[in-house]
Structure 1
């Protein structure tokens, strides 16, 4: 199992405008994608974990704080586990890779922000959603 990492995007500008790209992102494992728009900036969507699936996240509008936790036990995870925190902004094409074995909590920093989510399994291909109450991990509250 890997560690979460930011895959840095780049940009280029000239008289025609701006080009944002991420040539380091390997899309060969992606089977589906969708985007998330939280109802407001107070809502924290999570905790949702995956034993098998991987996720890649990129802000397409606005910005997000994404918190990840390495799950030590899917039946009874440690409530005091360390929370990793990442920020994604739409003015860059950075992509956060969440390997299998993690749970995420997602919070928009700007109203109407949109987060692109890419997944390495088709919808319904496997049963791999594990949900925990948002206040389960004490360090977030």
Structure 2
């Protein structure tokens, strides 16, 4: 399941407050940032059979493409690619349940993506890398 959790902003004479009051991070055990070296780079395709992840653009914009993996040992070539755009101006969060592979590409220079996971590094062996050109 994929869920976009909508953020919002409030502005007054003091400045702007960006928030996401619907985002529940009670399952989170670790976090990290992704900053692609340039706009041509696509971090494709990495998947997790049991790990859940949350993505939030904290600077700039990202295109995140997701594929629901049918078989982690030998996935089908014709799987549907679902694109999502995250923009730091909205503070929307994308919740990606277990069972998906992702492709991550920055759409603006110096973009920064915050990622949360429900497992600590090394807690489970659940990192699958697929051919970067397998799904368009």
TM range (shorter): over 0.9
Q: Cα distance, 1:95 vs. partner?
A: 0.2
CA distance in 2, matches of 1:14, 1:111: 28
- Give the TM-score, by structure 2 length: 0.98
Q: CA deviation at 1:46?
A: 1.6
2:98: which partner in 1?
A: 100
Where do residues 71-86 of structure 1 align in structure 2 (5 Å cutoff)? 71-86=69-84
Cα distance in 2 between the residues matched to 1:78 and 1:7: 29
Deviation at 1:117, TM superposition (A): 0.3
Pairing 1:45-124 to 2, within 5 Å after superposition: 45-124=43-122
Residue 5 of structure 2 corresponds to 7
CA–CA separation in structure 1 for the residues paired with 2:57 and 2:131: 24
Cα RMSD (Å) of the superposition? Answer: 0.6
> Runs of 5+ in structure 1 lacking a partner?
none
Q: What's the secondary structure of 1:43's corresponding residue? A: coil
Q: Which residue of 2 aligns with 1:35?
A: 33
TM superposition score normalised by structure 1: 0.95
